[in-house]
Amino acid sequence: MTSRTFRWSALALAVICLVGISTIGVAQQSVAPAARQVIVPDEDRFTPFAVTVRVGQIVQWVNNDTDDHSVVSIDAFNTAGHRGAHAILKANGGTLNLTFNHAGVFPFYCAFHATLDADNQAKAPGPDGGIQDPNGNFGTPMSGVITVVEGTN
């Protein structure tokens, strides 16, 4: 084999390897899209309140608060699956992972810090639909929504 033929063969092999590696990376991205997180900071709320993901994506709830919280689905409006979800997020790092396999909407709330009204809407528990703090102020219900859309990353 001549020096010139060897160089072209090596170049062709390098190109084939690069194409193969990039194809594997693309295949892995489409099979396992990155998880989106909903965080409970050191207070009674989910952040962000609204998250949009694609079909097949995972949503991970992480509780960074010192109190337990929960993730409960609102079945009347839940069209994205996981009907009847009711999971406890333990204090100081508890997590919940849900994979959404079809498009729709997944409204959720914390059963400790929200209730459903007659119209199946989350409202804060307590007098006048609020959580009362030591200063007499009322808060908002601890709730959120995941919207799942069709499509690829």
Q: What is the pLDDT of residues 37-93, one digit of tens each?
A: 999 999 889 999 999 999 999 999 999 999 999 999 988 899 999 989 999 999 999
> If you ran DSSP here, which 8-state letter would residue 92 be given?
T
Q: What single DSSP character describes residue 5? A: H
pTM for the whole structure: 0.72
Query: Average pLDDT, stretch 99-109?
Result: 96
Check pLDDT > 80 for residue 152. no
CB 77 within 8 A of CB 121: no
What are the percentages of helix, strand and coil residues in the chain, rounded to 5?
A: 20, 35, 45
Question: Using alpha carbons only, what angle is made at residue 48 by residues 47 and 54, rounded to the nearest 5 degrees?
Answer: 135
